[in-house]
């Protein structure tokens, strides 16, 4: 049985930029707000944090800053994945040295590999770090996924504790739960799949929407975990149009636009990500207003 890094809602926190550089002052305020609003963990330098356009100095500087700012109030999970195993190991070891509580390691992308190669990749990293690893399964971005047999092999490693499931493959998620139980913990990687995955035994969500509705996403998860299923379901279904709207364009374009509409001033995404198309931005505004957010 693996020990959960967190239960409930974790924020996949954005990386704010100002004048082309990481805005650490703003990032610190975002971290404080998330913790004050009940968010159970901070995931830094993931997809939503635009890790793919951070150089190593920025990446590790951001991880170190968030660890210090969180100051042990909630776990900090550092995104350290790469399609280069040695680079992923470097980022993972450095994040551990900086005090991250756990690592989020995405499936190797672009060059892909075999299922055997996936196991070797993750074991190579897990054998050389001293913090828990959460797998990040997102075939839409990585163009490959895990088989059940691969999950079974990965679950044997004591430091591979679970998976952020963003595949939308509920058959696979059910198989993970049925065959591996608490040897491979599951968190939703898509906000609009949070309760369906929790219904299969998931422990919560690594959330994009938590950047703008932190208290509500945590409430939805906690109500479910406390057995208050109907109330959790009602609040989740009310949020669905907003959760869907954050997918109008590729993440994190919409969530950064939403944060800026709410006065959070997190700056723009780094290229090749760009501003939202005007028609999509107007639709996002409408959904936010309908949900009750003060745009």
Q: How far apart are CA 35 and CA 30, in angstroms?
A: 9
CB atoms within 10 A of CB 3: 9
Asked if residue 272 has a cis previous peptide bond (ω within 30° of 0), the answer is yes
Instruction: Indicate the helix (H) or strand (E) that contains 187.
Output: strand 185-188
> Collapsing DSSP states into helix, strand and coil, what is residue 182?
helix
Exposure string over 94-115, b if 16+ CB within 10 A, otherwise e: bbbebbbbbbbbbbbbeeeeee
User: 217: which DSSP letter?
Assistant: H
How far, in Å, are 27, 100, 248, 251, 269 from residue 14 at the CA level? 8, 17, 17, 10, 10
Write down the catalytic residue from 2, 122, 131, 136. 136
Instruction: Indicate the helix (H) or strand (E) that contains 86.
Output: helix 85-97
CB atoms within 10 A of CB 197: 24
136 tagged catalytic:
yes
Write down the catalytic residue from 2, 26, 131, 164. 164
Q: Which residues belong to the active site?
A: 136, 164
């Amino acid at each position: 049985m693996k020990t959960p890094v967190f239960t409930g809602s974790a924020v996949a926190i954005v990386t704010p930029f100002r004048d082309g550089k990481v805005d650490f002052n703003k990032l610190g305020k975002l971290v404080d707000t998330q913790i004050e609003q009940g968010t159970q963990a901070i995931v830094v330098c993931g997809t939503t944090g635009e890790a793919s356009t951070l150089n190593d100095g920025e990446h590790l500087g951001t991880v170190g800053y968030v660890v210090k700012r969180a100051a042990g109030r909630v776990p900090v999970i550092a995104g350290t994945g790469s399609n280069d195993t040695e680079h992923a190991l470097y980022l993972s070891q450095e994040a551990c040295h900086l005090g991250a509580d756990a690592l989020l390691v995405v499936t190797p992308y672009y060059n892909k590999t075999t299922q055997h190669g996936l196991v070797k990749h993750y074991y190579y990293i897990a054998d050389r770090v001293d913090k828990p690893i959460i797998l990040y399964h997102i075939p839409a971005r990585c163009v490959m996924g895990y088989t059940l047999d691969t999950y079974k092999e990965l679950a044997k490693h004591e430091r591979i504790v679970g998976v952020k499931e963003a595949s939308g493959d509920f058959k696979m998620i059910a198989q993970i739960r049925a065959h591996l139980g608490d040897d491979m913990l599951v968190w939703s990687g898509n906000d609009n799949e949070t309760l369906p995955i929790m219904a299969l035994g998931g422990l919560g969500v690594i959330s994009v929407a938590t950047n703008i509705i932190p208290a509500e996403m945590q409430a939805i998860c906690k109500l479910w975990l406390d057995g208050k299923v109907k109330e959790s379901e009602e609040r989740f279904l009310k949020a669905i149009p907003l959760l869907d709207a954050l997918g109008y364009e590729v993440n994190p374009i919409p969530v950064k636009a939403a944060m800026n509409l709410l006065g959070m001033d997190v700056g723009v995404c780094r290229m090749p990500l760009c501003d939202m198309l005007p028609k999509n931005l107007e639709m996002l505004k409408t959904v936010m207003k309908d949900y009750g957010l003060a745009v």
